[in-house]
Structure 1
């Protein structure tokens, strides 16, 4: 294993009191629209037909302004260990928790949008030091995507998923990890796929929540459930991706609102937590409000609403249709996920699927919605990946 380099520097996240005071002032002075014009008797998902309901947003804004504790989240990040390094001319922020276990394996967790390292901060310690000798342990690395969190904002085009994957290989090498496991969902799933396909000499195997199939496959031979998955995914792409098209074509335009208005940023992100979580109504049925606010506040304080949106401009529909992943792969399709790929389709790209799991609960944010089940599934999937290499 290569030795760590001196190009990695410790980092601490510290918002100033003035920045936090400014946030509270803006929240108190927010100008809100009138109530949505949905049926007043509507319940469940129907309440969200026009987006985030006014009453729900008012409640979250009040909590954000009067009760939320950003300093607690800063302390959590510091307790894990935060670092920065410059890769390919861009400063990259990451969390790194080295396991005390001698048999631990390096693991890179890559978040997506509208996520951040906040998706994983509460489970890093459990993955690194499970307290059970029978459970696998990992040296956990959680990078912030370019333009997200405390990573630098690219000043030119070119930072798509291929370049990000190459940067992750360079980053892990600097930590002394020549070979590692990789996990991701959403954009993190795309990056993980590129890692497994382009860098098999470094990637031991992958665990993904987004098994992107090659284009042009037919539903012939699929089961009824698999056909339903394919239709649901097709419907999502046709009717529920206005946010992605906006960020892919005009990220700068929407970015002004996301960087200038904390309420606008909250609504833009909360809408996705609501729509993509496996819940009957509010995302807070499963995700604590402070977990969502950790994520939103990180976007706010780092002013990354526009720069994070640009990953869509760089990478939307950009995964190489000919890319194949030959390292062992574990795939988990949560029922509330927005893109669910039938296994026969996934097998056309991921050639060695060693574990396939379709849990009963969980959505697009399983590490936040069902953290215990997510950790157990991740461990089982990666254990199968490692076993397949022997």
Structure 2
């Protein structure tokens, strides 16, 4: 597609979608889109309205780069053991350059109340979706990598308006959905120190600025250790947390995983299955993690310059099968957000900031120091299925543990109603 035709197509898309931002969520009637008043904040702590408005020339440039992709030769095996298969990625990237429409994704975001506030010198972007039900519980939810706030959008209706999804009004939540520093429309730290503990403190500050006297927190992937760090720090008002990638691996398992040895003796059937899943992940699927934890700047050049490279890097996550639960458009909403915000490198630095602190290792995440209530849901398609025996060793105040029958690493995205039902059940005793 030449530049003039691409620009014309984009202009047509914009005109067609002009009214979408005011229709999407409002049509469902699930959320009060705009707060009745903007939160009053001290000087320097202002909360500013935010709207996504990507320039047309950025989209034209993206399509140009996609069309000019230089492809490698085909893999020499018939499976995914060497990485993302050429034919599969070509199909995704070609659709990205010809059929995908970013303006629809932009409209999804702009149909929701978005804000920016500056914390410790970094702009923090967040969505604030209020429930129409009285006494809704405030909940801050944290995404992971390679995710974004997109992975949480389908939970807004079920969480803010439970009766519309078979739940009870008294289980409703007011939602705060921030983009982590270096991700999406949040700012990029220009110095070191934005590790999990720093993000946890920033989230507590955000909830304070929003005027919440009490609230709960939820997270998966990096969001799980961020929520766990909040629970360790126990800021005023935090009642408890829910996580769906818990750090439960005990010391004897962590030692073997690190050394690459056989499973420890004496494991139960569920514990052995969990060990084998973790062992497979450590040996076959965490190369991306090692690279970003040690050389985020180096890999960042390729991810920032090549759309196909970025798509492959993100697509290979989740064992290279994200289409099991997500549509092409959903995957590309997320990938395009990383591209347009130039956040491949800045998001990768979170791995470097946290070094070897294993996300599933109890000691690495200092779970023994958490005294606040912890709730866990285990989804079958996760990196590993945390056994309840390990979970109770890791978290001394475990108030809820439940294994469900569907959903994976992106559970909120893949199974939003089931995920929302789990949060309602998990936090019910804390209301």
Whether TM exceeds 0.5 here: the answer is yes
Aligned counterpart, 1:76: 108
2:330 aligned to which of 269, 273, 291: 291
Is the 2:225–2:365 contact (alpha carbons within 8 Å) kept by the matching residues of 1?
A: no
CA RMSD, 1 decimal: 1.9
Kindly tell me: are residues 214 and 89 of structure 1, through their superposed partners in 2, closer, same or farther at Cα, counting changes over 3 Å?
farther
Aligned counterpart, 1:124: 156
Which 10-residue stretch deviates more, 231-240 or 25-34?
231-240
| TM-fit CA distance, 1:347 | 2.0
In structure 1, C-alpha distance between the alignment counterparts of 2:400 and 2:306, rounded to whole Å: 44
Kindly tell me: are residues 301 and 311 of structure 1, through their superposed partners in 2, closer, same or farther at Cα, counting changes over 3 Å?
same
Kindly tell me: are residues 320 and 60 of structure 1, through their superposed partners in 2, closer, same or farther at Cα, counting changes over 3 Å?
closer
Aligned counterpart, 1:279: none
| TM-fit CA distance, 1:222 | 4.5
Kindly tell me: are residues 51 and 94 of structure 1, through their superposed partners in 2, closer, same or farther at Cα, counting changes over 3 Å?
same
User: Which whole-Å deviations, capped at 9, do the CAs of 1:75-117 have from their partners, x for residues lacking one?
Assistant: 1111121110001111111111111211201001101111111
In structure 2, C-alpha distance between the alignment counterparts of 1:66 and 1:239, rounded to whole Å: 33
| TM-fit CA distance, 1:302 | 0.3
Aligned counterpart, 2:355: 316
Aligned counterpart, 1:193: 228
Is the 1:214–1:321 contact (alpha carbons within 8 Å) kept by the matching residues of 2?
A: no
In structure 2, C-alpha distance between the alignment counterparts of 1:4 and 1:173, rounded to whole Å: 11
Is the 2:285–2:319 contact (alpha carbons within 8 Å) kept by the matching residues of 1?
A: no
Is the 1:158–1:314 contact (alpha carbons within 8 Å) kept by the matching residues of 2?
A: yes
Aligned counterpart, 1:59: 91
| TM-fit CA distance, 1:363 | 1.5
2:317 aligned to which of 272, 275, 279: 272
Q: Does 1:332 align with 2:389?
A: no
Kindly tell me: are residues 239 and 62 of structure 1, through their superposed partners in 2, closer, same or farther at Cα, counting changes over 3 Å?
closer
- Could you say what secondary structure the match of 1:232 adopts? helix
Q: Does 1:210 align with 2:242?
A: no
Aligned counterpart, 2:31: none
Which 10-residue stretch deviates more, 133-142 or 164-173?
133-142
| TM-fit CA distance, 1:336 | 1.8
Which 10-residue stretch deviates more, 68-77 or 184-193?
68-77
TM-score, normalised on structure 2?
Answer: 0.82
Kindly tell me: are residues 110 and 82 of structure 1, through their superposed partners in 2, closer, same or farther at Cα, counting changes over 3 Å?
same
| TM-fit CA distance, 1:379 | 2.1
User: Which whole-Å deviations, capped at 9, do the CAs of 1:157-210 have from their partners, x for residues lacking one?
Assistant: 100000000000000111111321111111000001111121153211111012
In structure 1, C-alpha distance between the alignment counterparts of 2:365 and 2:150, rounded to whole Å: 29
Aligned counterpart, 1:12: 51
Q: Does 1:107 align with 2:139?
A: yes
Q: Does 1:236 align with 2:281?
A: yes
Is the 2:234–2:372 contact (alpha carbons within 8 Å) kept by the matching residues of 1?
A: no
1:259 aligned to which of 284, 304, 319: 304
Aligned counterpart, 2:387: 342
Aligned counterpart, 1:134: 168
Is the 2:74–2:85 contact (alpha carbons within 8 Å) kept by the matching residues of 1?
A: yes
User: Which whole-Å deviations, capped at 9, do the CAs of 1:222-249 have from their partners, x for residues lacking one?
Assistant: 4211222123213322442111110000
| TM-fit CA distance, 1:362 | 1.8
In structure 1, C-alpha distance between the alignment counterparts of 2:154 and 2:333, rounded to whole Å: 11
Gaps of 5+ in 2: 1-37, 254-263, 358-363
The aligned length equals 371
Aligned counterpart, 1:278: none
- Could you say what secondary structure the match of 1:113 adopts? coil
Gaps of 5+ in 1: 40-46, 276-281
Aligned counterpart, 2:430: 386
User: Which whole-Å deviations, capped at 9, do the CAs of 1:313-352 have from their partners, x for residues lacking one?
Assistant: 0013334536522222210121221143322222233222
| TM-fit CA distance, 1:13 | 0.9
Q: Does 1:28 align with 2:64?
A: no
Is the 2:367–2:395 contact (alpha carbons within 8 Å) kept by the matching residues of 1?
A: no
In structure 2, C-alpha distance between the alignment counterparts of 1:307 and 1:16, rounded to whole Å: 21
The structure with the largest alpha-carbon Rg is: 2
| TM-fit CA distance, 1:122 | 2.5
